[in-house]
């Protein structure tokens, strides 16, 4: 347990940030799963929502920006394949 005031503050902040990050990461994963399970025009709408979350996550460094680009690319390829069927 920290004794120094600034260390106590960092501990409080870390706990808050961890909670927020967990929530945002969960939302992101859910959106990606929705795209993967969607079919037809639902896939396109789910993809648009997922791209927004992926972009935001990459910008805020919740995930690495390259990982965000990779996920968007893979989802786009999946949606294109679903639309072609």
Q: How do residues 57-77 score in pLDDT, each as one tens digit?
A: 999 999 999 999 999 999 999
Question: Which has more confidence, 84 or 33?
Answer: 33
Q: Is the pTM of this model over 0.85?
A: yes
C-beta separation of 51 from 75 below 8 A: yes
Q: How do residues 37-48 score in pLDDT, each as one tens digit?
A: 998 889 999 999
| CA pair distance 29, 70, nearest whole angstrom | 14
pLDDT (average), residues 9-24: 97
**Domain ranges within the chain, ordered by starting residue:** 28-84
Banded pLDDT at 85 (limits 50, 70, 90): confident
Q: What is the pLDDT of residue 68?
A: 98
| CA pair distance 44, 55, nearest whole angstrom | 16
């Amino acid at each position: 347990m920290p004794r120094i005031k600034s260390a106590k503050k960092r501990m409080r902040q870390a706990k808050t940030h961890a909670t927020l990050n967990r929530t945002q990461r969960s939302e992101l994963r859910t959106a990606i799963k929705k795209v993967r399970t969607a079919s037809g025009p639902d896939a396109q709408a789910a993809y648009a929502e997922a791209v927004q979350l992926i972009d935001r996550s990459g910008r805020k460094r919740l995930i690495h920006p390259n990982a965000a680009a990779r996920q968007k690319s893979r989802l786009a390829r999946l949606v294109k394949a679903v639309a072609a069927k």
